[in-house]
């Protein structure tokens, strides 16, 4: 559910015509709906209201500070994977006691900063990392709270690039060696075991992988507790899918209905790390049709947003719905919607049946709020898109469009070239 709807034939972001925003701020333009983000966050919070829980929004989906501030004010925690994301989360006002820190490659400096800021826990992904956190914590004379990220060997039934919970993946500690690693954690003097974490993938559209993974993880949890480990936090990761095309993914209430009975009376705080399901359908990318070109059996619609702005179609062959901002009656055509970048992989849609586009008109690329701007780059020396947030009938720029100066700001010409 989101608040990008047509009123008459004109697309609105909440109560603001999208065309007004495109004219005012230019394109390519990311537009986010305040009410949609809030609604999605609350859907989690309300679904799990009967059980102690923390919703740790996965920053990687979208790190815009205004969006983070909105989530922080709503009571969200954060799932982070880098010192940069820690910096952003704290800056937005997310309390450190609601921050969980994942990632297979945490550096010494990042571990130090996280310890200094007293994050809730490190989700540890290897034995080497566990020893490193122990060493750094020892030097700082603190105890590091940790959970082990357990790879439950479950097929999340999603795109191979975003499936993470099978034994061939680089993530987490295999469930077979979990006890041995928890044993090691207990022996390390500067480590305090507080939790257990799993995350099996992203854009998951079925509930069964969650149930299967939960059953496996709870067996492990019970064994650990019988061995006197004080596991207080059970972190089930993120991954809930959204509807890009015609998927019907479970909603947080479905998750709660299936998972809470499995937890059945165990005393824990449940942690979730949703990213996409909070911001994915809360954002759209507006682009302008620059040129039209006849190809073999199809048309090319050349637009001013490229793979540098939205990488998902190129990288995962992901489907994003594309529709005219002003939807008047017209014929349907088959078209490739392509960007200005010098690669054949630069497309937003391929062989898409869609309304015939007019040169110069605005198009909305839907469901672009997650892994859109956060994965964007300046490839081909294209300054990054601007971002706007709409709340009711008000709108505000939340990130300025990149400039030409931004492209070269951090470059240094060495003395021998001067």
Asked whether position 202 contacts ligand LLP by CB under 6 A, the answer is: yes
- d(Cα 380, Cα 253) in Å, to the nearest integer? 43
- Nearest residue to 216 (alpha-carbon basis) of 192, 200, 193: 200
User: Hey, which residues between 72 and 101 contact ligand LLP (CB under 6 A)?
Assistant: 79
83-91 vs 65-73: helix axis angle to the nearest 10?
60
Tell me which stretch binds ligand LLP (CB under 6 A): 29-37, 235-243, 357-365, 377-385: 235-243
Contacts of 25 (CB under 8 A, 6+ apart): 386, 388, 397, 401
Q: Which stretch binds ligand LLP (CB under 6 A): 24-32, 197-205, 327-335, 355-363?
A: 197-205
Cα 200 from Cα 236, distance rounded (Å)? 9
104 is an interface residue for ligand LLP by CB under 6 A: no
The answer to whether the beta carbons of residues 342 and 418 sit under 8 Å apart is no
Please pick, from the candidates 275, 283, 324, 355, the single residue that binds ligand LLP as defined by CB under 6 A: 275
Spatial distance between the Cα atoms of 25 and 95, rounded to a whole number of angstroms: 33
Candidate list 237, 249, 313, 355; residue touching ligand LLP; CB under 6 A: 237
Interface segment toward ligand LLP; rule CB under 6 A; list 217-225, 263-271, 332-340, 370-378 = 370-378
**How many residues lie near ligand LLP (CB under 6 A)?**
23
- Catalytic residue, from 342, 404, 413, 417: name it: 342
Tell whether residue 276 is a contact of ligand LLP (CB under 6 A): yes
CA gap 293, 301 in Å, rounded? 7
Least separation in angstroms between residue 239's CB and ligand LLP is 4
Helix, strand, coil shares of the chain as percentages rounded to 5? 35, 25, 40
Residue 54 in contact with ligand LLP, rule: CB under 6 A = no
The interface with ligand LLP within residues 323-362 (CB under 6 A) comprises none
User: Taking CB under 6 A as the rule, does residue 371 contact ligand LLP?
Assistant: yes
- Encoded one letter per residue, x for contact with ligand LLP by CB under 6 A and - for no contact, window 372-391 reads ---x----------------
CB of 81 to ligand LLP, least distance (A): 7
- Residue 342 is a catalytic residue: yes
Q: Determine the distance from the C-alpha atom of residue 394 to the mean position of all C-alpha atoms in its chain, rounded to a whole number.
A: 26
Nearest to 173 by CA among 236, 126, 105: 126
Q: Measure the CA–CA gap between 370 and 32, rounded to whole angstroms.
A: 10
Q: What's the token pair of residue 174? A: 């295999």
Distance CA 85, CA 129 (A): 19
Q: Are 124 and 150 in contact (CB under 8 A)?
A: no
Nearer to ligand LLP, 77 or 238 (CB): 238
> Is residue 173 within the footprint of ligand LLP (CB under 6 A)?
no
Catalytic residue numbers read 342
Residues lying near ligand LLP in the complex (CB under 6 A) are found at: 58, 60-61, 79, 102, 162, 199, 202-203, 237-240, 273-277, 312, 316, 370-371, 375
């Amino acid at each position: 559910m989101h608040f990008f709807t047509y009123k008459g034939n004109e697309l609105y972001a909440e109560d603001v015509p999208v065309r007004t925003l495109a004219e005012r701020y230019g394109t390519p333009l990311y537009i986010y709906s305040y009410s949609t983000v809030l609604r999605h966050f609350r859907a989690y919070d309300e679904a799990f209201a009967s059980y102690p829980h923390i919703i740790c929004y996965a920053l990687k989906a979208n790190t815009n500070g205004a969006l983070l501030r909105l989530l922080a004010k709503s009571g969200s925690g954060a799932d982070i994977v880098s010192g940069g994301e820690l910096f952003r989360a704290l800056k937005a006002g997310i309390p450190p006691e609601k921050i969980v820190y994942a990632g297979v490659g945490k550096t010494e400096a990042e571990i130090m900063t996280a310890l200094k800021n007293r994050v809730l826990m490190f989700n540890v992904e290897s034995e080497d990392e566990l020893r490193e956190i122990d060493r750094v914590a020892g030097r700082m004379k603190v105890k590091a709270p940790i959970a082990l990220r357990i790879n439950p060997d479950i097929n999340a039934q999603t795109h191979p690039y975003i499936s993470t919970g099978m034994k061939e993946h680089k993530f987490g500690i295999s469930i077979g060696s979990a006890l041995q690693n928890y044993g090691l954690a207990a022996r390390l003097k500067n480590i305090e075991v507080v939790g257990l974490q799993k995350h099996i993938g992203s854009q998951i559209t079925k509930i069964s992988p969650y149930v299967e993974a939960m059953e496996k993880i709870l067996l492990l949890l019970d064994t650990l507790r019988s061995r006197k480990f004080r596991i207080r936090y059970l972190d089930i990761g993120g991954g809930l899918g959204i509807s890009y095309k015609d998927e019907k993914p479970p909603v947080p209430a479905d998750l709660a209905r299936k998972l809470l009975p499995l937890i059945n009376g165990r005393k824990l705080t449940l942690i979730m790390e949703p990213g996409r399901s909070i911001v994915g359908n809360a954002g759209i990318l507006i682009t302008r049709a620059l040129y039209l070109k006849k190809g073999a059996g199809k048309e090319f619609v050349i637009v001013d947003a490229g793979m540098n702005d939205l990488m998902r179609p190129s990288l995962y062959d992901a489907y994003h719905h594309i529709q005219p901002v002003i939807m008047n009656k017209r014929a349907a055509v088959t078209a490739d919607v392509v960007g200005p970048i010098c690669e054949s992989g630069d497309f937003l849609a391929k062989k898409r049946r869609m309304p015939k586009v007019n040169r110069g008109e605005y198009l909305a690329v839907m469901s672009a709020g997650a892994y859109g701007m956060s994965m964007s780059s300046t490839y081909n020396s294209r300054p990054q898109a601007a971002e706007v947030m709409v709340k009711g009938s008000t709108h505000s720029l939340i990130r300025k469009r990149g400039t030409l100066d931004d492209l070269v700001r951090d470059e240094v010409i060495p003395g021998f070239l001067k």
